[in-house]
Amino acid sequence: MNKKIDIQDLGLKDYKETWEYQEELFKEIIDLKIRNRREELHLKTPNHFLFVEHPHVYTLGKSGDLENLLISKDKLAEIGATYYKINRGGDITYHGPGQIVGYPIIDLENFFTDIHKYLRLLEEMVILTLAEYDVKSERSKGETGVWLDVGTPFARKICAMGVRASRWVTMHGFALNVNADLGYFDNMIPCGIKGKAVTSLNVELGKAEINMDEVKGKLIKHFIALFEAEI
């Protein structure tokens, strides 16, 4: 089993270009697993973790409802945003500058074979990272992602998640609002859940801006510990 993670920071990159790159890495791992099985080989499968920021974009998951996007295509162009229907789980979500998007493209057979556990550990990585900023976050029953003040009228989401897995290989991932422009969330029903607000780390801390690289470092630290991985 290969527990080493190759970490790449792609900077600000178009959503479609990044999606195609994810698909390329995803396919390479799956093709290697198929070859191992067919030829009875034991070649190690690689694991990747991509960090990226996207220009303003709305994405709709396989089970999503387009009605949760509240603006027209003409309006999208007006606000400088794009839209894609994609092959992850979940409903509609938004990505944009000031948001840390993480795409672990890993072979879970290098770690454990449990998608539920995988999602819970991604949530825990975010929860532990936010705790380092004295922000108490938690899970909301039946709603994947990370939330604040669950069970109160002030419940708000700070991190969205949606993944795809095939042959125990993952892609897509999480989006953590760090310095996000929350106005863009007004153009959709986040994750298809009505009546729930969203927030960003800088808003919670009352600061103009949080150091994104510092947050990424904390996320990776907790990911490595939780998955018992190496870099």
Question: Any idea what the CATH number is for the domain that residue 209 is in?
Answer: 3.30.930.10
- Look at residue 87 and tell me if it is in a domain: yes
CB 169 within 8 A of CB 33: yes
Residue 52: pLDDT band by 50, 70, 90 thresholds?
very high
Look at residue 24 in the predicted model and tell me its pLDDT.
98
Q: Which residues contact 134 (CB under 8 A, 6 or more apart)?
A: none
Percent of the chain whose predicted confidence (pLDDT) is above 70 = 97
Assigned token pair, 218: 């904390």
- Look at residue 13 and tell me if it is in a domain: yes
Domains held by the chain: number: 1
106 vs 159: CA distance, rounded Å = 20
Look at residue 228 in the predicted model and tell me its pLDDT.
97
Annotated binding-site members for substrate:
88-95, 160-162, 173-175
38 vs 75: CA distance, rounded Å = 50
109 backbone dihedrals φ, ψ, rounded to 5°: -65, -15
pLDDT in tens, 63-122: 788 888 999 888 999 999 999 888 777 778 899 999 999 999 999 999 999 999 999 999
- Look at residue 1 and tell me if it is in a domain: no
Q: What value does the mean pLDDT take over residues 204-221?
A: 98
Residues serving a catalytic function are 191
The residue whose two tokens read 């959503």 is: 15
Annotated binding-site members:
88-95, 160-162, 173-175
Q: What value does the mean pLDDT take over residues 155-172?
A: 94
Q: What value does the mean pLDDT take over residues 113-141?
A: 97
- Look at residue 199 and tell me if it is in a domain: yes
pLDDT in tens, 169-210: 999 999 999 999 999 998 988 655 666 789 999 999 999 999
Question: Which residue range is the domain that position 20 belongs to?
Answer: 6-227
Query: Pseudo-torsion of CA 49, 52, 57, 59, nearest 10°?
Result: 0
3 vs 108: CA distance, rounded Å = 10
Look at residue 142 in the predicted model and tell me its pLDDT.
87
